[in-house]
C-alpha cells in the first residue's frame, strides 16, 4: 500500500465512531492482534469500539486482550480485520454476512472476496498486522506497548516465527522495531510456539498414529472425525493448527488435514512445500488462502471427500490415481 492509501485509511478511521471490529472464526494471533491493536487505537482517538469473534477469545491469546473491556454503544461502523471472506466470520457473526453490512476490510489474503464496501488489501504483507504497523508508522501515530505486543504477536504467528515463505524483509524490520517496546517477546514466542497443553500432546499423538501416506509418501493425510476427537480427551481447540505436522515428515510435498465439522461437512487444511500451490489446490473446492497454506470446506461423505482430495492431489503431483 502506498502513502496516499494509508492517508485515505486515516481519514476513514478518524471519521468513524461506534465501531465493531470483526475477527475471523478459529481466531489466530493475526486476526486478534489486529483486532485489539485497532480497538486500542480507536479508543485512544476517543472513539467507542469493540472486538467481536464468533467464539470466546481463546485463553491462549489472553495477553492480547489484557485490560480490554466491552463498551456499550449503538454500532455505526463495521471493520473486518484479517478476514478474506464473510463465510470466515462464523455462525455467531452471520448477521454480518449479508451484502453491505461491512464498511471496511483490512486484509492480506490474496483470496479476499472484496465483500466490504471498502477494502485495503496488501497480499504481500506477511500478516494483516504488518499493514497496521506500516499504517501507524506512515501517519506518525505513537502507539503504546500493548499495541506493539499485539502487532508483534500477529506478525510472529502468521510467519511461523519468521520461518514461512511469506516472511518478507519488512516483517523482520517491523519485529526489530517492535522489540524496542516493553513486550516480552521471549514469553510470547514460547507461549505461541513451544508450550503445549497435555490435551494438545494427546491430540498430536492421535494425529501421528493415524497419519495416512499416499503417492510414495509425497502426500500425507490426517482425518479427524468427531468420534476420534471426542475419544482423545482434549478440548476442540486443541485440535486446531495440527495441519503443519504432515510437512514435518521428510519428502512430503503436500499435507492435508480433513476435519469433520458436522456430519458430511469437512474442513480441509492444506500445507505444501515449494512444488504445490495450496491456494490453487483449495480453489477447486471453493476455498483459498496462501500459496503454502490454504483451506476449504467440502460437503460430502468422508469417503467422497477422500476420493475428491486424492484425485486432486494426483493431478497436482502428476501421479496416476484410479480411486
Residue nearest to Mn ion (CB): 30
Closer by beta carbon to Mn ion, 158 or else 260: 158
Calpha distance 103→252 (Å, rounded): 42
**In the 8-state DSSP scheme, what is residue 71?**
P
Closer by beta carbon to Mn ion, 128 or else 242: 128
Closer by beta carbon to Mn ion, 108 or else 214: 108
Which residues make up the interface to Mn ion (CB under 5 A)?
A: 30, 82, 128, 158
Q: Which residues of 39-55 are buried (b: 16+ CB within 10 A; e: fewer)?
A: bbbbeeeebbbbbbbbe
CA 234 to centroid of chain Cα atoms: 22
* 23 in Cβ contact with 153 (< 8 Å): no
Least Å from the CB of residue 130 to Mn ion: 9
Least Å from the CB of residue 265 to Mn ion: 24
Closer by beta carbon to Mn ion, 153 or else 272: 153
Least Å from the CB of residue 106 to Mn ion: 11
Least Å from the CB of residue 238 to Mn ion: 21
Selection from 32, 199, 5, 192 nearest residue 104 by Cα: 5
- DSSP H or E run through 128: helix 128-139
Least Å from the CB of residue 30 to Mn ion: 3
Closer by beta carbon to Mn ion, 124 or else 311: 124
Calpha distance 29→164 (Å, rounded): 15
Calpha distance 166→172 (Å, rounded): 11
Amino acid at each position: 500500500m502506498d502513502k496516499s492509501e494509508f492517508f485515505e485509511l486515516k481519514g476513514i478511521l478518524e471519521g468513524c465512531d461506534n465501531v465493531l471490529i470483526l475477527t475471523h472464526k478459529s481466531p489466530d494471533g493475526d486476526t486478534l492482534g489486529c483486532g485489539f491493536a485497532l480497538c486500542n487505537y480507536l479508543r485512544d482517538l476517543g472513539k467507542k469500539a469493540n472486538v467481536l469473534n464468533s467464539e470466546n477469545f481463546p485463553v491462549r491469546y489472553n495477553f492480547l486482550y489484557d485490560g480490554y473491556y466491552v463498551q456499550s454503544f449503538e454500532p455505526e461502523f463495521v471493520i473486518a480485520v484479517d478476514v478474506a471472506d464473510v463465510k470466515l466470520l462464523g455462525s455467531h457473526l452471520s448477521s454480518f454476512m449479508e451484502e453491505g453490512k461491512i464498511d471496511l476490510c483490512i486484509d492480506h489474503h490474496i483470496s479476499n472476496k472484496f465483500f466490504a464496501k471498502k477494502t485495503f488489501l496488501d497480499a504481500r504483507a506477511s500478516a494483516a498486522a504488518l499493514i497496521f504497523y506500516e499504517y501507524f508508522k506512515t501517519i506518525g501515530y505513537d502507539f503504546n506497548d500493548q499495541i506493539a505486543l499485539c502487532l508483534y504477536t500477529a506478525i510472529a504467528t502468521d510467519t511461523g516465527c519468521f520461518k514461512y515463505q511469506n516472511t518478507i524483509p519488512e516483517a523482520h524490520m517491523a519485529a526489530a522495531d517492535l522489540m524496542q517496546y516493553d513486550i516480552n517477546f521471549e514469553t510470547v514466542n514460547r507461549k505461541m510456539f513451544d508450550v503445549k497443553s497435555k490435551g494438545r500432546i494427546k491430540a498430536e499423538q492421535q494425529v501421528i498414529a493415524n497419519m495416512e501416506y499416499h503417492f510414495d509418501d509425497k502426500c500425507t493425510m490426517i482425518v479427524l472425525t468427531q468420534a476420534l476427537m471426542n475419544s482423545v480427551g482434549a478440548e476442540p481447540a486443541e485440535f486446531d493448527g495440527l495441519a503443519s505436522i504432515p510437512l514435518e515428515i521428510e519428502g512430503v510435498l503436500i499435507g492435508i488435514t480433513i476435519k469433520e465439522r458436522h456430519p458430511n461437512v469437512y474442513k480441509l487444511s492444506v500445507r505444501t512445500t515449494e512444488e504445490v500451490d495450496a491456494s490453487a489446490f483449495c480453489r477447486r473446492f471453493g476455498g483459498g488462502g496462501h500459496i503454502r497454506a490454504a483451506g476449504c470446506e467440502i460437503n460430502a461423505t468422508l469417503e467422497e471427500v477422500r476420493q475428491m482430495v486424492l484425485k486432486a492431489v494426483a493431478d497436482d503431483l502428476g501421479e496416476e490415481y484410479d480411486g
